[in-house]
Amino acid sequence: MKIASKSKKINKAWLNDHVNDPYVKMAQRDGYRARAAYKLKEIDEALKLLKPGQVVVDLGAAPGAWSQYLRRKFAPAGAAVGELNGTIVALDLLDFEPIEGVTFLQGDFREESVARSLVAALGGRPVDVVVSDLAPNLSGIESSDAARVAHLVELAVEFAQAHLRPEGALVCKTFHGSGYSQLVKLFKDSFRVVKPIKPKASRDKSAETFLVGLGLKPR
């Protein structure tokens, strides 16, 4: 009974924090599917990464808040529908409610069929920016979770190396903790400039942070 009671208290506390979170309220006001949109917005505004006309791939795109931000960034006057100056391809294992102008591919990007669909969607053009909000299901076992996080970051870096133009950029979610320094090294080995960013929109209690790699190093 104590365990159940404690669990209920935790859930209630989380729900209370969520409902009163200013970024949750902003997302509801602005029509974003998740507060995560403001994380990408902060990173973009700090580094001036995204410009109309670019080709961008959104890895781990569901539920779609980052793709929504990209779509508005590439639209005149930030419109959520209508004219679009740019190409956005979203990928995820999970289903994805359509966003006008965004090409969604469901599946693992390492699979041949998904890779073929991606090549078709890109139309032979190199990618300007890859954004990755990929995150594993965490078990609470630090060593296991660190390995899962590292694996997804490594996949994002491999994807960027395969598809980015030489001066392109990768924005990738990771977490402070075991293995973080190795991921920073991976980025420094792969990109000419590396910037870690903890957006204000990330929850204070979260170990979440983002690594941004600018300009691919020759392999």
Spot the catalytic one: 173, 195, 198, 217: 173
CB 208 within 8 A of CB 177: no
**Catalytic (active site) residue 173:** yes
User: Which are the catalytic amino acids?
Assistant: 173
